[in-house]
Chains A and B, each alone.
Chain A
Amino acid sequence: MTKFLVGIGYNGWILPVLLVLPLVGGLLLVLHRCTQRQDADAAMRSARSIAFWIFVAEAVLSIGLWWSIDTVSADWQAYVDVAWIPQWGARFTVGIDGIALMLILLTTLLMPLAVLGSWTSIRVNPHAFYTLLLVLTTGMLGVFMALDLAFFYVMWEVMLVPMYLIIGIWGGQRRLYASIKFFIYTMVGSLLMLVAIVSLGLQAGQGGPPVFSYDAILALTRAAPVVGSYWLFGAFALAFAVKVPMFPFHTWLPDAHVEAPTAGSVILAAIMLKMGTFGFVRFAVPLFPDVAMDPTVRTIILVLAVIGIVYGALVALVQPDFKKLVAYSSVSHLGFVILGIFAMTVESMQGALMVTISHGISTGALFLLIGMIYERRHTRQIDDFGGIAKVMPIFAVFLTVVSLSAIGVPGTNGFVGEFLVLIGSFPTQPYYTVIAATSVVFAAAYLLWAVQRIIYNPLVKPENAALKGNDLNWREIGLLTPLVIAILWLGVYPKPVLNKTEAAADRLVRSVEAARMGSMQQLPPAGGR
């Protein structure tokens, strides 16, 4: 395989192709819409199949990355660097390491499933919907690949408009409120990051034209403390904290998740939240290691992470709406990721990445399942259900497996990540780790309780009884099966994934430690009393 990939020069073109292909697909959809006069049904069918095959092509193309890139090497892989705005030093630079590799694969593999999940539910303007979905994909992949801060910022903002429109046009009852809230929250953080990026670029340019290359800025911040590094870190951290979302910036998330259409919720939870944690791993922490490891800053972030873990779990416990419950559980899970990152050991870092991926899989699957039952019952209130297992046994099986993985039961992917975070964080942050561990119990409580009320309680409501014979169809089974396979495979044998991310995580932890040591040596010796 590797030989074949080298033979076709795969690394030289794959990342730009992955970025451009969805845009081509979007253009195709627009042209199709303009040239074909179709009734609503035919439009839906043609739009979804064009989008689906584009996403499948994207997924197939991206799989080669698993073999083609060398995750041990300290160099960027599949690196492409093209001039873009030379006068401003902005370049089109993409490249990945093991961490970005996993997130890119998560994105490309999940997108076809998200399309399958919204197969029949998007009836209004399907062409526009899938075009936005495709553009969104370019933005998300761009964030994971960008190695130029200007390009990164553009990609970071690009996803905002499609998601805003997806929530606002195809969303639920309170979609107008949810969409603008999502937009404004994200924008506050990211615009401050823009000022920080420009400021860093000018400093890296040293009086000449600015330089935005990641490596150049990394070299700048490592060489000497940059002017205002605490403020710059704050700007980056705010942008990412809103996206993750960390407590107390999380309030956009339940609204956006609940109101978004199924595909939107899946993408939000599975991929877009991960851009926040990825931002910490790629930008905020490595660029400003001495700020990130400053005891005060670190304490603030860890406290917020732990509050998020416990608070998210407690709030999830009392949610009557199943989608909202899952949304709050995301706040809790993502808190683990932040804890893992800022505990700054190799195990905790790898655990954080593992939680990132497994949360993407299991929460994505949960949202898909919610979408399926919602299409049949048009409600998401947990109390409206009961005894669904009797009428929809296949659905019940899937929901149980996926919920167990979201709880983190051993043998599923959820367990591996959380376990690694906890054992990795304990040596450096024992108190926070102990508090965070309690939420594993809460997770079991809220999810199992909800699952019990939905599928096991007595079948009393006639609407639920009427679901008999309306169990999952082959399309739905087909789209859930890969997710369940991933859940079990990663739960039993996570080694391949851990191997891919180990070198990158190790390098990050080492370099941060080195930078911290360096900055401590620069400090004047403590005065003896």
Chain B
Amino acid sequence: MTYDLLSPTQLSAALLPDLLLMGGAIVLMLVAAWRPESDAHQRTVGLAAIGLLIATMATVVWMSVRGDSALETGVIAVDGFRWMVDLILLLGAIGTIALAIEHNERDGITQAESHVLVLFAVAGMMILAAARDLMVVFLGIEIMSVAVYVLTGLNRRSARSAEASLKYFLLGAFATAFLLYGMALVYGATGQTQFAEIGLVIRRLNLIDNPMLLVGIGLMLVGMAFKVAAAPFHMWAPDVYDGAPTPITAFMAATVKTAAFASFLRIWYEAFYSVFNGWAHAVWWLAVLTMVVGNVVALSQKNIKRMLAYSSIVHTGYLLVTVTAASVLASTAFTFYALAYTLATFGAFAVVASMQPAGETDARISDYQGLWHVRPWMATAMAVFLLALLGFPVFGGVGFFAKWYLIQAAIAAPAGLTILAVILVLTSVISAGYYLQVVRVMFMMPRADEAVEPLPVGALTRAVLAVTVVLILGLGLFPSRLVEITQSNGFRPYAYSPALDMGLPRFEP
């Protein structure tokens, strides 16, 4: 159906999945507090949360199949892009909780509320994916971030977890201030908070060179770059990812990033597309810097969680290409890439989580030495995830097509980003160095004599591993259906046909 977003009832109807999730989360929080903390209770609430997420997913699918749309531009979007992103976020949340239930048992975390926090975080993210108004963006970011700050410090007995949480909170608050100040300046320059209106005003009043607007966009860019961990605003990521409980690390690396990027794309495509020339250079260089820094620093990591943290920074760099590319194709490439990246990241962190003994230990890459000889399937699965992150065909499954899609979006972009595509592939060669390092440790080195037998893997973690491997490999052979779905759910930069000749490094033979 078509919603009239000015009417409160219809606005609520358009927010049905979000409201369902939030309402369910509130109920679940009461349930969680109802009984004393225990492992069994923690598990029950976790499973109930997964059930709620699946119900939300079903609602999203139902609304997207129905082809709902909004009558006119409002504070939220009702479009395919939102549904696509919602589904990826919900998938990530299910993975997080599935891993967290067993990880909590092992680490002695009995607070059932931890799962509810994941639900709140996802609710915030879904609002972000829908937001078409700066105020709503801020609301979503805060709901998401506050929950994730707490989740990072979930393991109260771990000093590292506390350190990570505090660091994330302080830096996150700082970055939010940037974002908010940027929003204020943009509002000051345009007098609008809705994306479409901002775009219109910029065009009508010809604010393309307005300093207040440009500074506002710049500050917002800094805030967004922090949220997605783009270099040079990435410094928090390795420490936080390393200190947080492993399932939460996966959540941050994949799901939080997807949500932040969805909003990033929407703001930049819809509100700021008219001043493309003003920010394209900055994002271009941000992408290059992120790819280079992430890849080079990842090479020297000895801790697998830190290595994956830097790898997630690298993927931020790749995804920034979709922001600069600014086209329908790029927005669909983003959803495709986000899905592939979510699958691979959750798979990899599932292995990390199940390999980690209880207590506060370094997840060293050398612990994986000779894993193939004792856990052949897990080592093979890990190899698949790493090759997917590397973007390798067939063995890395859908990861390859994700990269292919990005390259296609970059070359076909109106601004012509062939050079960026070349930089992307060249830096991804560097990434072979560290992804394959793990493969080589697992497959080509003998098991160390003093190495302990890896712990048995729980049923839920097994399920996450199986689902991610099957999806990655299956979609890696037959991606056409997924391509079709993403392609019909893209969204268009709010087109006032700006002059695209802004002198980005171009491929001009």
Do A and B share a complex?
Answer: yes
The yes or no answer to A72 lying at the interface (CB within 8 A) is no
Contact residues of B between 380 and 435, Cβ < 8 Å to A = 387, 392-395, 400-401, 404, 407-408, 411-412, 418, 421-422, 425-426, 428-429, 432-433
User: Given A88-B408, A195-B422, A198-B407, is A168 in contact with B443 using a C-beta cutoff of 8 Å?
Assistant: yes
Contact A180 B436 (CB under 8 A): yes
Known: A168-B440, A184-B429, A195-B418. 18 other contacts (CB 8 A): A85-B483, A88-B404, A153-B393, A157-B392, A158-B394, A160-B392, A161-B395, A165-B444, A168-B443, A169-B444, A179-B444, A180-B436, A191-B428, A194-B407, A195-B422, A202-B411, A229-B509, A231-B507
The yes or no answer to B218 lying at the interface (CB within 8 A) is no
Interface residues on A, range: 35 or more
The yes or no answer to B453 lying at the interface (CB within 8 A) is no
Shortest distance from the beta carbon of A141 to any chain B beta carbon, whole Å: 14
Shortest distance from the beta carbon of B279 to any chain A beta carbon, whole Å: 25
| Cα A228 to Cα B483 with chains together (Å) | 28
CB-CB under 8 A from A231, the residues of chain B are 507, 509
Shortest distance from the beta carbon of A108 to any chain B beta carbon, whole Å: 21
| Cα A164 to Cα B418 with chains together (Å) | 30
Contact of A227 among B432, B433, B509 (CB under 8 A): B509
Contact A84 B480 (CB under 8 A): yes
Contact B479 A85 (CB under 8 A): yes
The yes or no answer to A175 lying at the interface (CB within 8 A) is yes
The yes or no answer to B487 lying at the interface (CB within 8 A) is yes
CB-CB under 8 A from B443, the residues of chain A are 165, 168-169
Residue in B479, B484, B509 whose Cβ sees the most chain A Cβ within 10 Å: B509
Interface residues on B, range: 20 to 34
Contact of A192 among B387, B408, B425 (CB under 8 A): B425
List 5 A-B pairs, minimum CB-CB distance, nearest first: A228-B509, A191-B425, A168-B444, A85-B480, A154-B393
CB-CB under 8 A from B404, the residues of chain A are 88, 150, 194, 198
Contact B480 A202 (CB under 8 A): no
User: Given A88-B408, A179-B444, A228-B509, is A195 in contact with B425 using a C-beta cutoff of 8 Å?
Assistant: yes
| Cα A187 to Cα B396 with chains together (Å) | 14
CB-CB under 8 A from A158, the residues of chain B are 393-395
CB-CB under 8 A from A228, the residues of chain B are 418, 507, 509
Shortest distance from the beta carbon of A36 to any chain B beta carbon, whole Å: 15
Q: Is the interface of A mostly helix, strand, loop or mixed?
A: helix
**Which chain B residue shows the least CB distance to A210?**
B408
Contact residues of B between 412 and 470, Cβ < 8 Å to A = 412, 418, 421-422, 425-426, 428-429, 432-433, 436, 440, 443-445
CB-CB under 8 A from A164, the residues of chain B are 436
| Cα A509 to Cα B471 with chains together (Å) | 46
| Cα A87 to Cα B428 with chains together (Å) | 25
Contact A187 B432 (CB under 8 A): yes
**What residues make up the interface of B, taking CB atoms closer than 8 Å to A?**
387, 392-395, 400-401, 404, 407-408, 411-412, 418, 421-422, 425-426, 428-429, 432-433, 436, 440, 443-445, 478-480, 483-484, 487, 507, 509
Shortest distance from the beta carbon of B329 to any chain A beta carbon, whole Å: 10
Contact B425 A87 (CB under 8 A): no
CB-CB under 8 A from A83, the residues of chain B are 480
CB-CB under 8 A from B478, the residues of chain A are 84
Contact A87 B480 (CB under 8 A): yes
User: Given A86-B480, A228-B507, is A198 in contact with B444 using a C-beta cutoff of 8 Å?
Assistant: no
CB-CB under 8 A from A479, the residues of chain B are none
**Which chain B residue shows the least CB distance to A184?**
B432
CB-CB under 8 A from A194, the residues of chain B are 404, 407, 425
Contact B436 A154 (CB under 8 A): no
Shortest distance from the beta carbon of B436 to any chain A beta carbon, whole Å: 6
The yes or no answer to A188 lying at the interface (CB within 8 A) is yes
| Cα A126 to Cα B408 with chains together (Å) | 40
A195-225: CB near B (< 8 Å → 1, else 0) gives 1001101100000001000000000000000
Could you show 15 A-B contacts with beta carbons less than 8 Å apart?
A: A84-B478, A84-B480, A85-B483, A87-B480, A154-B400, A161-B392, A165-B443, A168-B444, A176-B445, A184-B433, A192-B426, A194-B425, A195-B407, A195-B421, A201-B408
CB-CB under 8 A from B507, the residues of chain A are 228, 231
The yes or no answer to A183 lying at the interface (CB within 8 A) is yes
| Cα A445 to Cα B462 with chains together (Å) | 60
| Cα A230 to Cα B479 with chains together (Å) | 32
**Which chain A residue shows the least CB distance to B403?**
A194
Shortest distance from the beta carbon of B506 to any chain A beta carbon, whole Å: 11
| Cα A513 to Cα B374 with chains together (Å) | 59
**Which chain A residue shows the least CB distance to B507?**
A228
CB-CB under 8 A from A165, the residues of chain B are 443-444
Contact residues of A between 70 and 112, Cβ < 8 Å to B = 83-88
Shortest distance from the beta carbon of A249 to any chain B beta carbon, whole Å: 14
**Which chain B residue shows the least CB distance to A156?**
B393
| Cα A88 to Cα B408 with chains together (Å) | 9
Contact B444 A176 (CB under 8 A): yes
Contact residues of A between 127 and 185, Cβ < 8 Å to B = 150, 153-154, 157-158, 160-161, 164-165, 168-169, 175-176, 179-180, 183-184
User: Given A88-B483, A154-B400, A231-B509, is A199 in contact with B440 using a C-beta cutoff of 8 Å?
Assistant: no
CB-CB under 8 A from A198, the residues of chain B are 404, 407-408, 411, 421
CB-CB under 8 A from A183, the residues of chain B are 432, 436
Shortest distance from the beta carbon of A88 to any chain B beta carbon, whole Å: 6
**Which chain B residue shows the least CB distance to A188?**
B429
Contact B444 A202 (CB under 8 A): no
CB-CB under 8 A from B425, the residues of chain A are 191-192, 194-195
| Cα A86 to Cα B428 with chains together (Å) | 27
| Cα A188 to Cα B425 with chains together (Å) | 8
